Homo-oligomer: A and B are copies of this chain.
């Protein structure tokens, strides 16, 4: 399966947000809705910094403004 793990990046370190993420969708202008393969949902206020699908990683960072 090709789900990914989502992380916050801050000060060079990574903090896990959610594992086994299947779906990512914008949730308004400054947030993302994540849904894992079990159907659990989370809304993340931030922006995607990078996604690396082969490495199963999505990295989020906090919005600089707001």
Contact = CB atoms under 8 A, between A and B. Distances in A.
A60 to B, nearest CB: 11
Interface size class, chain A: 20 to 34
A21 B47 CA distance: 20
The binding surface of chain A is classed by DSSP as strand
A2 B51 contact: no
Contacts of A3: 53-54
Contacts of A37: 54
Interface of A: 1-4, 21-26, 37, 47-54, 56
Contact of A52 (B22, B48, B54, B56): B22
A7 B53 CA distance: 16
